[in-house]
Amino acid sequence: MPESRALQPYGGGVGHHLAEFLAPDGYTQPRFCALARELAFGAEVGRASWDVLASCRARRAVPWTARGQASPAEPVLLVPGFLAGDYTLRALGRQLRAEGFRTYRSRIRTNVSCLVTNAALLERRLEEIAARRGTRVWMVGHSLGGMLARGLAVRRPDLVAGIVTMGSPMMAPGTAHPVLLTAADLLVRLSRAGVPGLMSEDCVAGSCARQAWEESRMPLSADVGFTTLYSRGDGLVDWRSCIDPLARAVEVRASHLGLAIDPVVARTVVAELRLQRDRRPAVDYQRSKSIAE
């Protein structure tokens, strides 16, 4: 683990200690007042609730005998963002299932652990799903969850069919809003004090951070789809840091928190997954595994 003197403060003296490479030139840290954009979350919750009620009414209007038999559904693993858990992606999962996909939880209760630890957990989850379904898996990640998805897509193209990231600041995670950096700094301090299961200094300035950063620069396999969703209304990260030059970039309208629940964003995710599927047909898991070996 690196010593404190090896860490570099970022944020104009704010006091957050992150490696300099996490905050490259060309990106702007949101000002504190940018949090006001996240007030749109209330309206987004309202739209999501209304969408759920409308879907339930429409489903009840269809007789059970007319609903037909369930067809084989393509697997999608949902990965929550920083400080969040699987519960934050329930609305998105409901929309994906309504559109014919089969969703799986990441089993991350709160995304505050070491990046390497969570990446290993997700890799095992991918192996389990791919073996069960006999095909590669799509991944949809919100914020930090999208960054984890990108790293896994680089390392395990035999397991990942494609990824969709939502508000994931892959290009400059160190320029996130001071509120997020303060939370990360607190986790590091608690980890240093002996609290287990939290991000350590290695995750923000050591080999763990370096590995995640380098993987975020590497190209994906040609048959792995990659779409990144960004919003100019994002109050927690610089929207430009969410645009990976190797991805298909799609603009949506939502707050950072709202990206996980807004029904319009969910429909965009559905459209992008279908586009990836049409462009890159799913590869049989066993065949892709033998190719990788």
Q: Is 1 contained in some domain?
A: no
| Ranges of H-type helices in the chain | 41-60, 90-98, 115-133, 144-155, 178-192, 201-205, 207-215, 263-279, 285-292
Query: CB of 167 within 8 A of CB of 256?
Result: yes
Helices H, strands E: what count in the chain?
Answer: 9, 8
pLDDT value of position 145 = 97
Q: Is 24 contained in some domain?
A: no
Q: Is 46 contained in some domain?
A: yes
Domain that holds residue 84: 35-60+71-280
Q: Is 199 contained in some domain?
A: yes
Degrees, nearest 5: CA angle 114-13-206:
25
pLDDT value of position 279 = 84
Tens-digit pLDDT profile for residues 118-157: 999 999 999 999 999 999 999 999 999 999 999 999 999 9
pTM of the model: 0.86
Could you say which residues of the chain have pLDDT below 70? Answer: 1-17, 55-72, 280-293
pLDDT value of position 119 = 93
pLDDT value of position 3 = 32
Contact residues for 150 (Cβ-Cβ < 8 A; gap 6+): 141, 163, 165, 168, 170, 215, 216, 220, 226, 244
How far out from the chain centre does Cα 64 lie? Answer: 35
pLDDT value of position 73 = 83
CATH number at residue 222: 3.40.50.1820
Q: Is 288 contained in some domain?
A: no
How far out from the chain centre does Cα 293 lie? Answer: 28
User: What is the C-alpha to C-alpha distance for residues 163 and 183, in angstroms, rounded to an integer?
Assistant: 27
Q: Is 8 contained in some domain?
A: no
Q: Is 154 contained in some domain?
A: yes
pLDDT value of position 283 = 47
Give me the number of domains the chain comprises: 1
pLDDT value of position 71 = 52
pLDDT value of position 141 = 98
pLDDT value of position 64 = 54
